[in-house]
Amino acid sequence: MIFTVAVDGPAAAGKGTISKALARRFGLAHLDTGLLYRAVGARGGDPVAAARGLTPDDLARDDLRSLEAGQAASRVAAIPEVRAALIAFQQDFARREGGAVLDGRDIGTVICSKAEVKLFVTARPEIRAHRRWLELGGDEAQVLTEVIARDERDMNRADAPLKPAPDAVLIDTSDLTIEAAIARAADLVAARLPPA
């Protein structure tokens, strides 16, 4: 079975949590595409060379979830040559036998524009900043400033800006529990899965 679930959205909206839950529930492979960009940013040096030379060890680094790695990912993701170097990897993963869930910023619009299910997971910036602050600590006002700056950068980059695909289903998690958001997404996937 070839079946792709594309999950896009801004930072700390819940797309990773939802994607992992969908992969577990339906027995699909999962790829957090943001980790690819975080790994490229964390490697330092020439981002294009880093993207072309990415290894599984780079994806296993324990510092990829830091705020710094997220900011670096947003910066290198704006470089067209970096995006081009990582597209084939993501597309191959998406169309693997057994199905896959990919989450990121441009999965439904660029990487997997023909995905069987497209979700756009979002939440108000203040909610997302509070979630990120609970996860990472620091100054909550500064985290909000950084979330807004990252949204601005991601939504206004020239190459593959963050936006919902025209046929994506919007899930706003601002006022939903994790369980309710996952249930909503699971219902959408279940409705489109081919019969076993």
Whether 21 has a binding-site annotation, put simply, is: no
Can you tell me the mean pLDDT for 99-114? 94
pTM comes to 0.84
Are 4 and 22 a contacting pair, CB within 8 Å?
no
Looking at residue 159, its pLDDT comes to 78
User: CB within 8 A of 103, min separation 6: which ones?
Assistant: 7, 8, 9, 15, 16, 18, 19, 30, 31, 32, 33, 34
Can you tell me the mean pLDDT for 10-24? 95
Looking at residue 65, its pLDDT comes to 83
Looking at residue 150, its pLDDT comes to 87
Whether 44 has a binding-site annotation, put simply, is: no
Whether 15 has a binding-site annotation, put simply, is: yes
Looking at residue 24, its pLDDT comes to 97
| CATH number of the structural domain spanning residue 93 | 3.40.50.300
The neighbour count for residue 179, using CB atoms within 10 Å, is 9
Closest-CA residue to 176 (of 10, 13, 4)? 13
Residue 69 has pLDDT above 90, yes or no: no
Whether 11 has a binding-site annotation, put simply, is: yes
Can you tell me the mean pLDDT for 99-117? 94
Domain count, the chain: 1
Whether 185 has a binding-site annotation, put simply, is: no
**What is the band of 170 on the pLDDT scale with cuts at 50, 70, 90?**
very high
- Between CA 17 and CA 101 the distance in angstroms is 12
Can you tell me the mean pLDDT for 87-92? 88
Looking at residue 40, its pLDDT comes to 94
- Per-residue pLDDT tens for 116-139? 999 999 999 999 999 999 988 889
Residue 149 has pLDDT above 80, yes or no: yes
User: CB within 8 A of 11, min separation 6: which ones?
Assistant: 70, 128, 132, 147, 150, 151
Can you tell me the mean pLDDT for 153-173? 91
Looking at residue 157, its pLDDT comes to 82
From residue 92, alpha-carbon distances to 95, 101, 151 in Å are: 5, 12, 28
Quick one: tokens of 98? 């057994």
**What is the band of 175 on the pLDDT scale with cuts at 50, 70, 90?**
very high
The neighbour count for residue 65, using CB atoms within 10 Å, is 15
Range(s) of the domain holding residue 26: 4-192
Residue 196 has pLDDT above 80, yes or no: no
Looking at residue 59, its pLDDT comes to 84
Whether 9 has a binding-site annotation, put simply, is: yes
Looking at residue 143, its pLDDT comes to 92
Whether 10 has a binding-site annotation, put simply, is: yes
Are 73 and 58 a contacting pair, CB within 8 Å?
no
